[in-house]
Amino acid sequence: MISGANIKTDHTATRTRVRVRVPFALRLLVRFRALPRYGLGAAGLCALALTGCSFLGGVRPDEASDDKASTNAVTPAAARPARPSAPAPVPEALERVRVNVEDGAVVGVGMPMSLVFEQPVPVAERAAVERALRVTSSPRVTGAWSWVKDRNLLDGGRLDYRPREYWPTGTKVTLRAGSGPGAGAGPGGAVNRRFTVGRSLVATVDVRDHSMTVVRAGVATRVPITAGAPGMDTWNGVMVVAGKERRLLMDSSTVGFGDEYKGYYNYAVHLTSSGTYLHENPMADAHAGRSNVTHGCVGLPTDGTARRFFEEVIPGDVVQVTGAPETVDPGNGYGDWNVPWSAWLAGSALR
């Protein structure tokens, strides 16, 4: 007697026929007696039969809804698990680039991130460079990259990032090249930066009334200044402090004024690559608050005014000049803030 078989009898006049219905798994066992040489015994065969799997390649339950599916069916592409895509390679241009902000720096609210490339980036490659750069901040801030024509570089030599408005005080910013957990470990790693935005300082210079109003952390102070004389006017618009020097040699021959002056000046705050500084100037002792007599710089008196301002400012602080005839170019120092937001976005290769 076969255990588990369903037996039916059919009585006729001459004989009795017995029809035995044998489970499918046992029929397979009888039919494929050679399976043990593949390491698959009766128990394994029954398991395969019960789960709907085929020894030669079956269909998993999540791959077929029809039990008549071929035992050699191939998993449809749509049903296969998606393979993680490999990170896009970092463009070669980002392997030879200088970043203006030092890692770990504390900067003023106006500081853009500026990347200067060893070689100009061709137009066709600029979108890939931007895609490879990731900027995150806490709190989140709306910002964008834009290609800036630096006055001392060829087109495609500089790429800047700035927010729509000045950075909020206390913002923590991270710049990375590439994507994924290993981003920055290889090519492009020199780009990576983390920095913090410090307290706000915005100095507004009015060349018409020869004054400068400094608003630091919400507290305003007004001091007298002397600006560029007529024909040698100070640049109008927003400039950003790029750096400062306790004592600096200034030579008129390097900025197009021949041999009119050459000497050391104290407490020099650097504003433009064309040579604009805000610094102590002995002429300001007589002219500050009264008239404009400089070659384009903003002069402060020697009574301690220049020293106090010098000690307060950090790179990224904002100096905005009003009342002058000509606005500073975006690529003359960090003149990025003189570009309207819509035009700034248009300067991106991803527009």
- Active-site annotation, residues: 279, 297
In degrees rounded to 5, what are phi and psi of residue 31?
-75, -35
Q: How far apart are CA 239 and CA 205, in angstroms?
A: 11
In degrees rounded to 5, what are phi and psi of residue 309?
-65, -45
For residue 345 the two structure tokens come to 């976005």
Q: Are 214 and 309 in contact (CB under 8 A)?
A: yes
Helix (H) or strand (E) holding 311: helix 305-312
280: which strand partners?
300
Helix (H) or strand (E) holding 239: strand 237-240
CA–CA distances in Å: residue 38 to residues 27, 32, 41, 53, 56: 18, 11, 9, 16, 12
Q: How far apart are CA 290 and CA 299, in angstroms?
A: 12
Residue 160 burial by Cβ neighbours in a 10 Å radius (0-12, 13-18, 19+) = buried
For residue 31 the two structure tokens come to 């039919």
Q: How far apart are CA 62 and CA 66, in angstroms?
A: 11
Residue 331 burial by Cβ neighbours in a 10 Å radius (0-12, 13-18, 19+) = buried
CA–CA distances in Å: residue 198 to residues 105, 284, 329, 335: 9, 30, 26, 20
